[in-house]
Amino acid sequence: MPHDATQHDDSGHFRQRLGLFDLTMIGFGSIFGSGWLFAAAHVADMAGPASIVSWLIGGIAVLLIGLVYCELGAALPLAGSVVRYPEQAHGSTAAFLTGAMTTIAFSSLISIEIVAARQYADAWTGGLTRNASGDPTLAGWLVQLAVMGLLYAINRRGIGSFALINNIVTVFKFLVPTLVVVLLLAAMHPGNFSLHGFAPHGFQGVETAISAGGVIFAYLGLTPILSVASEVRNPQRTIPIALVASITLAMLVYLLLQTAFIGALPPALLTDGWNGIATRLSLPFHDIAVQLGLGFLALMVVTDAILSPTGTGNIYMSATARVVYAWSRSGTFFPVFQRMDTQRGVPDKALLLTFGLALFWTLPFPSWQALIGVVSSALMLSYAMAPTSAAALRRCQPDLPRPFRLPCFSVLSPLAFAIASLIVIWTGWSTLCWLMPALLVLTGIFMMLVRRNLSSAAWSQELRSSLWMPVYFLGLLGLSWCGPFQGTGLLNHVWDDVAVIAFALIIHHWAALCGVKTTR
C-alpha cells in the first residue's frame, strides 16, 4: 500500500548534482534520439505533407501531459517518480502496473536506439546489417553489445559522469539537425506540399502517423527527467522549466525537419504518390543529402545518426535503473533492486537488470520499426497514469505542497488523459489485441497475490482504488476492436474518437474519486 511521500525521500541515497541545463539536456536528449532519423519518411508515407500536422498535434499532446507532470514532479521529486505517483495516488496495483509498463518500454527503448545507431553505422562501414529489414549480422550484434556495455560503464560511474557526457552529446545532436534544416530548406520544392494533395489519406492518415509512424515514439522523453528528480538541485523550480523547455525545443526542431524533408524531396520520387517513400529512402536524411549531392551533409548525418541514438540510449539506461529502483521501493517488485552503491550514488542492482533487459530486447534482432507501436502504446499508457494520479492526489492530499499548480486543472487534466487514450487507440488493433490482455492478466495475477497478504479492510481499499484500471484496459480493447485502425470498422474514425474521449473522461472522473487516503 502507498505511504506518505516523506517516508520515501531518497535524497539521502542520491547525489543532487543536476542543474537546469543538465536536466534540459536530459529531456531534449531523451526526446531527440533515433526518431528524427527514421520517422520523417514513415510519417510522410502515411500522411503526405500533412505529416507536419502530425508533429504539431503530437508535440502539443505531449506538452499537455508534460504540464501535468510539472505539478507532480515539483510536488514529489522522488527517484523513478513515474512509478511513485500512481503508488501515492492509487496504491500497490497502480504502482506495479506502471512499473511493469515503464520498465519494459524504457529497457526496450535502449535497444531500439542502439539498433538505430547500428543501422546508420552500416551505411558508413558496411557488414553490420544483413538485409533490407535492418537485421544485424553477428558483427553488428556484437557491436550493439559493446555499446551497451559502454553505456552501462558510464552509468555505473555515477550521475556526474553521465551528465557531463550527455551534455556534450546533446549539444552535438542539436547542431547537426540545425545544419540539415538550413541546407535542405535551401533546396526546397514548394510544389511538393500540394502534390497529390496536402493530406492524401485524410485525417486518419495524420492519426496513424502520430501513433504508429513514429511521431509519439519520437516525443517519448518526458519521464527520464522525472526519473532523476531526487538528483536535481532545487527540483521544485528546475523540473517544470526543464520539462517545458525540452518539449518545446524538440517540437520546434521536429517541425522544421519534417518541413525540410517534404520540401527537399526530388519530385521524381513522388510521381506515384507518397506511398513507399519510407521504402525508397531507408536512411531518409542521409539518402536525400546524397541525391542532392551534399556529401558533407550525408557524412554529418551518419555521424550524428550514430551518436544521437547512442546518447538517448545512455539516458534511458540511467532512467530505467531508477524506475526499477522505484518499483522495488514501492514494495511491488523484488526488494534486492533497492540496493544502492552509496559511494557513487547509483542503484547498482537495478542498473545491472537494466543492462540485461536491454540486451534481451536485441535477441529477436528487431529493426527500428518493429517495436515502435508496442513501445509507444506502453509508454502512453504509463503517461496516462499522470493525469489520473494528479487528479486523485488533488482530492486525497489537498495539503501536499505544490510549488507548481497546473492552471485550469479540471479541464487540462482530463484532456491530457483523453489525448493519451486516443494515441493508444490509434496504434491499432494488431498491437492492442495482445498488449491489453497481457496487462489484464498481469493485473489479475498481482491482485491475487496481494489479496493473500492484506486484511479484509485493506483489500477492500486496494480493490476500490485500482478497479478502474482493468476496466480502462477492457474499454480500450473493445473500442480498438470496433474502430477503424485494423479493427472491425463498426465505428468510423470520427465516432471512434468521440467514443474514446467520452470513455476516457468517465474513467478520469472515476480514478479521481477513488484515490488512496494517506495520513501525513
Helix (H) or strand (E) holding 318: helix 295-329
466 falls within a domain: no
156 falls within a domain: yes
Helix count (H) and strand count (E) of the chain?
21, 0
Cell (9 digits) for 232:
536535481
354 falls within a domain: yes
Query: Percent of the chain at pLDDT above 90?
Result: 28
Per residue in 84-139, pLDDT (tens digit) is: 899 999 999 999 999 988 898 888 889 888 888 888 788 778 888 887 667 788 89
Q: Which residues of 486-517 are buried (b: 16+ CB within 10 A; e: fewer)?
A: bbeeebebeebbebbbebbeebbeebbebbbe
Which structural domain range is residue 326 located in? 5-11+19-332+339-374
Per residue in 398-408, pLDDT (tens digit) is: 999 998 899 99
| Tally of domains in the chain | 1
433 falls within a domain: no
Return the pLDDT at 8: 42
46 falls within a domain: yes
394 falls within a domain: no
Cell (9 digits) for 121:
553505422
253 falls within a domain: yes
506 falls within a domain: no
Return the pLDDT at 135: 78
* Residue 373 confidence class, pLDDT cut points 50, 70, 90: low
Per residue in 331-346, pLDDT (tens digit) is: 888 888 988 887 888 8
Helix (H) or strand (E) holding 496: helix 493-513
Which amino acid makes up residue 28? F
Question: To the nearest whole number, what is the mean pLDDT of the chain?
Answer: 85
As beta bridge partners, residue 430 has none
Contact between residue 202 and residue 57 where contact means Cβ atoms under 8 Å apart: no
For residue 197, the domain's CATH number is: 1.20.1740.10
Query: Percent of the chain at pLDDT above 70?
Result: 93
Per residue in 211-241, pLDDT (tens digit) is: 767 787 778 777 788 888 778 888 888 888 9
Return the pLDDT at 274: 84
- Best CA proximity match to 346, nearest among 164, 166, 156: 156
* Residue 392 confidence class, pLDDT cut points 50, 70, 90: very high
Q: Quick one: average pLDDT of 266-282? A: 81
Per residue in 30-61, pLDDT (tens digit) is: 887 667 777 888 888 888 899 999 999 888 88
Statement: residue 3 has pLDDT above 50: no
